[in-house]
Every structure is written in structure tokens, then in C-alpha cells.
């Protein structure tokens, strides 16, 4: 089976930097995804890591350490519109390459 | 590219009734996935198709649930004899193996309320 943990809620200030952590346990790791989901909307793809290290895309960066079963999503220069849930998902090659999602981290950005 | 579409967006039904949802994936995406999401939780995998073949089914998918993708394009998810515990958002996603990240693109979901 798989186990994915991430904090339930976080609060940060507009303009600041926030790091959302995700730890996972899986038998056939084949990539980790971060999705953003605004309330009542579909998840949208943010980033993908399959090798160790940092992937940067504009204000968003994602880091992966496979040996530690750990990833984080870093959001810089926070904007009010970044208030959303952030979902960590792991793909498992031993499970048909399906995605298993964590419970999501609800981020609230305050002025 | 019109994205993944789902119909209906909302469904209210009485306990014991049958409901059917439709998903139209992004054209050329040969993989299609169904998830269920309850409030404050991440999506939970239900089943997926590669073309018309249903390759994987979660233990969450009880005998009351059935999914089809008869021509390898759109898919339907039917829930028979609905129960209040079936109330959730039902999300569909599609992907194209071999693309850059093979990421899944999600539709807007169908919100089911069972009274």
C-alpha cells in the first residue's frame, strides 16, 4: 500500500514564501506530482518530479528526495489567488502507474 | 483542445435511485481515470481505462458501481441503488502516455448529493 502525508492547513501572508511538505511510502515510485485545487474546482497540474532535486516553474518550485520519501512545494511571492488546496500525488509502477493522492494542504493567504 | 468535460455538473438524487455520469476526455488521450473526492480529502482512485479496456479497479468500487468506455472515447460511471455515503465529487481525468510528464488532466467533476 501507499501512505502520503501532508499538513492539513497552512496560513501565510501575501508576498511571503511558503513551503508545503509531503512524505510518502510506496513500493514502486514512478514520479511525484503537485496539483492545485481551488474550492469547487478540478485539480490542475503544477509540477512533476521523478529525479532528486529541485524543479522550478516561475513562482512555484518542487523538490524531491527519493531516499527520504520526501517532497516539498515552494510558493514564492504569494498572491491572494494562491489560496487553494495543494495536493501531493505519487505514481506507483507496481500499481498500474496510478496516482495516489494525499489529503491535500489547504493554504490560506492573508493580506 | 477543449479539456476534459463531465456531465452533469451536479446531481441530486434520492437514496435507492440509480445515477449515471459521463466523462469526455481530451481527444487522443487513451487513458481515462475516475476518482471520488469528499470534502477536505484528496481524490481517491476508483478505476481506469486504457482505450476501451478497464485495467484497474479499486476496492472502493463496490458491486453497485460500474464503469464503461465502449469505444475508447467517452466513459460512463453508473451507481446503482445509491446510498447517502455515495455523496461526493466524482472526478474524471485523462492522460496520454508518452507525453512530457504523463500528467493527468482533470475535468470539473460531477457533485452527487444523495438525500
| Per-residue model confidence as pLDDT tens digits over A38-96 | 998 899 999 999 999 999 989 999 999 999 999 999 999 999 999 999 999 999 887 77
User: What is the DSSP track for B23-70?
Assistant: EE--TT--EEEEEEE-TTS--EEEEEEETTEEEEE-TT--TTEEEE-T
Instruction: Tell me how far apart the alpha carbons of residues B84 and B11 are, in angstroms, rounded to a whole number.
Output: 13
A31 touches B at CB < 8 Å: yes
Among candidates B61, B58, B77, which has minimal Cα distance to B69?
B77
B 38-67 near A (Cβ less than 8 A): 40-45, 48, 55-56
Interface contact B41-A100, CB threshold 8 A: no
Given a cut of 70, whether residue B1 has pLDDT beyond it is: no
Mean pLDDT of A6-25: 97
- Residue B96, chain A, CB below 8 Å: the answer is no
Question: Following CA atoms B59, A31, A15, A11 in sequence, which dihedral angle do they give, to the nearest 10 degrees?
Answer: 30
Q: Which residues of A touch B105 (CB under 8 A)?
A: 45
* pLDDT at position B7: 97
pLDDT of residue A86: 98
Q: Which three cell numbers stand for residue A49?
A: 518530479
The pLDDT tens digits of the residues spanning B89-112 come to 999 999 987 777 778 999 999 999
Q: What is the mean pLDDT of chain B?
A: 92
Q: Can you tell me the mean pLDDT for A98-105?
A: 93
Q: Which of A33, A103, A104 sits opposite B103 (nearest CB)?
A: A33
Amino acid at each position: 500500500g501507499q501512505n502520503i502525508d501532508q499538513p492539513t492547513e497552512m496560513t501565510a501572508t501575501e508576498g511571503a514564501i511558503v513551503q508545503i511538505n509531503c512524505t510518502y511510502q510506496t513500493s514502486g515510485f514512478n514520479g511525484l506530482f503537485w496539483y492545485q485545487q481551488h474550492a469547487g474546482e478540478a485539480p490542475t497540474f503544477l509540477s512533476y518530479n521523478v529525479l532528486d532535486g529541485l524543479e522550478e516553474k516561475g513562482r512555484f518550485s518542487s523538490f524531491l528526495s527519493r531516499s527520504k520519501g520526501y517532497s516539498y512545494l515552494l510558493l514564492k511571492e504569494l498572491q491572494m489567488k494562491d489560496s487553494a488546496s495543494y495536493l501531493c500525488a505519487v505514481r506507483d509502477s507496481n500499481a498500474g502507474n496510478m496516482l495516489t493522492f494525499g489529503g491535500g494542504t489547504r493554504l490560506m493567504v492573508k493580506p | 483542445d477543449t479539456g476534459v468535460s463531465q456531465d452533469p455538473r451536479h446531481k441530486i438524487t434520492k437514496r435507492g435511485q440509480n445515477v449515471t455520469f459521463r466523462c469526455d476526455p481530451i481527444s487522443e488521450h487513451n487513458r481515462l481515470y475516475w476518482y471520488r473526492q469528499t470534502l477536505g480529502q484528496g481524490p481517491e482512485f476508483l478505476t481506469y481505462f486504457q482505450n476501451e479496456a478497464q485495467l484497474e479497479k479499486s476496492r472502493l468500487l463496490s458491486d453497485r458501481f460500474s464503469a464503461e468506455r465502449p469505444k475508447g472515447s467517452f466513459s460512463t460511471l453508473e451507481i446503482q441503488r445509491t446510498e447517502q455515503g455515495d455523496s461526493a465529487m466524482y472526478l474524471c481525468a485523462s492522460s496520454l502516455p508518452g507525453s512530457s510528464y504523463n500528467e493527468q488532466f482533470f475535468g470539473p467533476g460531477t457533485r452527487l448529493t444523495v438525500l
